[in-house]
């Protein structure tokens, strides 16, 4: 039986292939060694190019950062020039007339406020002062009690919505003021009951148009009805022309000048409590001093008479026919959003009433006209001066104050 042929092997060929592979591997290692050798041409080129590339990249980064810093600083300086350096008026120059009027309303109105004040009614030959205290809640409720003079003391008024009630202690009667009675004068002043009944938020009753800008001085628009301060008398808590507590100057000898302690015995006064004219007032008001003394007490919380005020000028048109004044013109302090001058017109253009603010005072965070003259242009006399002694915003007021029971 024949034996199978053994498998044939090609050992010499395999050995040759392996030898060739080993030789190639050796060549590769030699080539790699030549490339990565410190003294090889690629490594020498790398050592020259790499540092230069690093410096170039660093310079590019620094240049980018410098350009970014310049742009950022320019933006900051532009912001400062437009916002921080410019006055407050420039920041609000784009406000519309209605926006300005709303800001005025927001400044003067509050949920609750309590105010003590006086009306100095300047008649043709004399003046009389009426002191009162008012409690006000929103725009619909107000209670006022008159404190002086004696013949007015105890008189009370209550506003509830569109109704106005008045109680007189002399007759012990409460009456509803309505119809033609609303046009009558309040205590002989230039203010009418109708004025008391209007909505204090003017933006509810009027549309406003911004018609211009003007710089005015407080008190300069009074004209013939100007309230004159005697030389040397400071405008203090005692009001205009008052030399003594509870007394008002009526007349003095012609040509008599203030010099040191003047002789008061020839001067005539009105006792504001009794309304009787007297020739000598016993209680000296020590606020009297030199002509400069009236300005010594002014502070950053007071804007005095004669101060220049930059204003917006607004023209208001009534939204409905039943508004008492169909047109108004307001001068609004740009910085404080307070009306410093006002004119009220009839539909035909007749000037009916004027208001001129004499000074402003800050009560808490709000600016308020603390002294102003209100003039009925169709009435004789020199107008009615209002002086606010104190005002408390957001005060606590008992609910019973705004009831008819509180009138008695």
Pairing of strands 351-363, 302-303: antiparallel
The answer to the question of residue 255 being in a domain is no
The answer to the question of residue 334 being in a domain is yes
What is the value of pTM for the model shown? 0.63
CATH code of the domain containing 109? 2.50.20.10
d(CA 318, CA 322): 9
Q: How many structural domains comprise the chain?
A: 1
Q: Which two tokens stand for residue 43?
A: 């490594």
Ranking 16-25, 160-169, 173-182, 282-291 by mean pLDDT, the lowest is 282-291
Q: Residue ranges of the alpha helices (H) in 280-391? A: 293-296
Residue whose structure tokens are 């001066």: 385
Q: Which two tokens stand for residue 185?
A: 């004068």
- Over residues 156-161, mean pLDDT: 96
Residue 400: predicted pLDDT: 95
The domain containing residue 173 runs over which residues? 97-221+297-407
Query: How large a percentage of the chain has pLDDT more than 90?
Result: 52
Contacting residues for 339 by C-beta, under 8 A, at least 6 apart: 104, 330, 331, 332, 333, 355, 357, 369
The answer to the question of residue 92 being in a domain is no
The answer to the question of residue 195 being in a domain is yes
The answer to the question of residue 387 being in a domain is yes
DSSP state letters, 264-298 = GGG-EEEETTT--EES--SSB-TT--STTHHHHT-
Q: What are the pLDDT digits (tens) for 107-152?
A: 988 889 999 999 999 988 889 999 999 999 999 999 999 999 999 9
Q: What are the pLDDT digits (tens) for 28-42?
A: 555 555 555 555 555
How many CB atoms neighbour CB 6 within 10 A? 6
First to last CA, the chain: 152
Q: What are the pLDDT digits (tens) for 233-263?
A: 333 333 344 444 444 554 444 443 333 334 4
Residue 55 confidence class, pLDDT cut points 50, 70, 90 = confident
The answer to the question of residue 126 being in a domain is yes
Residue 98: predicted pLDDT: 97
- Over residues 164-184, mean pLDDT: 94
The answer to the question of residue 57 being in a domain is no
Residue 294: predicted pLDDT: 36
More confident call, 250 vs 328: 328
The answer to the question of residue 372 being in a domain is yes
Write the DSSP symbol of residue 361: E
Q: What are the pLDDT digits (tens) for 183-194?
A: 999 999 999 999
Residue 14: predicted pLDDT: 56
Buried residues in 274-292 as b, exposed as e (16+ CB within 10 A) = eeeeeeebeeebebbeeee
- Over residues 311-330, mean pLDDT: 96
d(CA 168, CA 153): 9
Q: What are phi and psi of 168, to 5 degrees?
A: -110, 120
DSSP state letters, 117-162 = EEEEEE-SS-EEEEEEEEEEETTTEEEEEEEESTTTTT-EEEEETT
Residue 114: predicted pLDDT: 97
State the average pLDDT for the chain. Answer: 76
More confident call, 389 vs 300: 389
Residue 46: predicted pLDDT: 60
Residue whose structure tokens are 């007394």: 247
């Amino acid at each position: 039986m024949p034996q199978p042929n053994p498998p044939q092997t090609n050992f010499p060929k395999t050995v040759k292939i392996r030898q060739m592979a080993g030789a190639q591997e050796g060549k590769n290692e030699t080539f790699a060694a030549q490339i990565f050798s410190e003294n090889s041409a690629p490594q020498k080129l790398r050592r020259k190019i790499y540092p230069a590339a690093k410096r170039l990249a660093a310079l590019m980064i620094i240049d980018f950062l410098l350009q970014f810093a310049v742009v950022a600083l320019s933006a900051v300086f532009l912001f400062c020039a437009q916002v921080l350096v410019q006055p407050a008026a420039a920041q609000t120059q784009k406000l519309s007339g209605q926006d300005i009027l709303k800001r005025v309303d927001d400044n003067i109105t509050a949920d609750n406020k309590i105010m003590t004040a006086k009306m100095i009614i300047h008649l043709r030959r004399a003046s009389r002062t009426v002191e009162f205290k008012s409690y006000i809640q929103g725009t619909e409720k107000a209670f006022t009690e008159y404190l002086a003079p004696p013949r007015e003391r105890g008189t009370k008024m209550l506003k509830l919505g569109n109704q106005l009630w008045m109680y007189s202690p002399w007759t012990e009667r409460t009456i509803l003021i309505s119809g033609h009675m609303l046009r009558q004068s309040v205590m002989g002043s230039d203010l009418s009951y109708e004025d008391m009944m209007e909505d204090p938020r003017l933006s509810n009753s009027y549309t406003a148009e911004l018609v211009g800008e003007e710089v005015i001085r407080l008190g300069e628009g009074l004209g013939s009805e100007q309230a004159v301060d005697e030389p040397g008398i400071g405008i203090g808590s005692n009001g205009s022309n008052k030399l003594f507590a509870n007394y008002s100057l009526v007349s003095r000898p012609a040509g008599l000048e203030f010099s040191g302690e003047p002789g008061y015995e020839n001067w005539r006064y009105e006792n504001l409590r009794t309304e009787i004219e007297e020739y000598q007032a016993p209680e000296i008001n020590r606020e009297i001093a030199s002509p400069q003394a009236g300005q010594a007490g002014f502070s950053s919380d007071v804007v005095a008479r004669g101060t220049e005020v930059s204003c917006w000028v607004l023209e208001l048109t009534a939204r409905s026919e039943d508004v008492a004044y169909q047109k108004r013109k307001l001068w609004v302090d740009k910085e404080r959003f307070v009306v410093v001058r006002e004119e009220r017109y009839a539909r035909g253009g007749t000037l009916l009433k004027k208001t001129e603010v004499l000074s402003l005072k800050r009560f808490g965070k709000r600016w308020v006209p603390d002294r102003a003259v209100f003039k009925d242009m169709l009435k004789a006399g020199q107008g009615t001066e209002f002086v606010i002694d104190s005002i408390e915003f957001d005060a606590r007021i008992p609910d019973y104050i705004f009831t008819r029971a509180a009138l008695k």
